[in-house]
Amino acid sequence: MTEPKITDSHCHLDFPDFDGQLPDILTRAAEAGVHRMVTICTRLRNEPQVRTLAEAHPQVFYAAGTHPMSAGEEPMATVDELIALAQHPKFVAIGETGLDYHYSADSAELQKQSLQIHIQAAQETRLPLVIHARAADDDMAQILSDAYRAKPYSCVMHCFSSSAELAKAALDLGFYLSMSGITAFPKSRELRDIFATAPLDRILVETDSPYLAPPPHRGRRNEPAFTALTARRGAEVFGLDYADFAAQTEQNFERLFAKVAAHRVAT
């Protein structure tokens, strides 16, 4: 029986954890029904390698930005730089960017500056913004909301594991929430409850691999094939058959990542 098609909306295929193993990883993903993935470049100096990876595999698309935990170490991105990168046909989102005060509170001001630059690039390119948020809910909600009021843009709160308040702020702006393996952890009931109150047409699924593998692989390396495990838990959260939940998240992904859908039509 063929598995329902699903998309891993956020992974890191260029990380050393996958060195020399990508063909097998892509095969396992296809066997699990994961027919597409967006691999995220977290430091702009690595963009050429990530671009090459996407060019080499028809099912792989990519995004690039400066991860907030790297904002204090990397050269500040420019709006023009991000806009130029976005001209590539397989470059489909801006980021990931955001705020992380859990590990990197000392670079908070640089993170805010970087986030504003990425938001402007998303506004100019009309590509979705990919947000990483940890221990910075109030600042994150304020910055995203203020920028949206100035000029609307689209956005996904990747690997969402923040508060109900931040979820509401994002959803009120029309943004999307993405389920990662954290959603499937046994002790994540409160997080599942937050997702359960969200509109079904605003939900994506992802791995954030190589991190955050869902059960029964928790504590080991994650990979795109495991998107299906998180999505099965997501189907339970929404009281749906897996095939119906997978089909809905596919529609959601193509609505937000319109460049991916257009690329499929063009090819």
pLDDT tens digits for 52-73?
Answer: 999 999 999 999 999 999 999 9
Three-state DSSP state, 177: strand
Nearest C-alpha neighbor of 248 from the set 40, 5, 8: 5
pLDDT for 2 beyond 90: no
102 annotated as belonging to a binding site for a ligand: no
Does the N-terminal peptide bond of residue 216 adopt cis geometry, omega within 30 degrees of 0? Answer: yes
Q: In angstroms, rounded to a whole number, what is the distance separating the alpha carbons of residues 103 and 135?
A: 9
Question: What pLDDT does residue 96 have?
Answer: 98
Q: How far is CA 67 from CA 232, 247, 251, in A?
A: 29, 30, 27
158 belongs to an annotated ligand binding site: yes
- d(C-alpha 85, C-alpha 129), whole Å: 14
> Is 10 a known ligand-binding residue?
yes
Average the pLDDT over 195-210 and give the result. Answer: 98
Predicted pLDDT at 266? 63
Mean pLDDT for 150-164 is 97
pLDDT score of 90: 98
Cβ 110 vs Cβ 72: under 8 Å: yes
What's the whole-number average pLDDT of the chain?
A: 96
Class of domain 6-266: alpha beta
Six token digits for residue 71: 């904002």
pLDDT for residue 82 is more than 60 = yes
pLDDT cut 70: percent of the chain above it: 98
35 is in an annotated binding site: no
33 φ/ψ sector (left φ>0, alpha ψ -120 to 50, else beta): left
pLDDT score recorded for residue 267 = 52
Query: How many CB atoms are closer than 10 A to CB 248?
Result: 17
In this prediction, residues 107-135 reach a mean pLDDT of 98
208 annotated ligand-binding residue: yes
Q: Which comes out higher in pLDDT, residue 265 or 106?
A: 106
pLDDT over threshold 70, residue 76: yes
**Residue-wise pLDDT tens digits, 9-50:** 999 999 999 999 999 999 999 999 999 999 999 999 999 999
pLDDT at 265 over 70: no
Q: In what helix (H) or strand (E) does residue 7 lie, and over which residues does it extend?
A: strand 6-11
Q: State yes or no: pLDDT of 1 exceeds 80.
A: no
Summarize pLDDT for 234-244 with one digit per residue, the tens: 999 999 999 99
pTM above 0.85, yes or no: yes
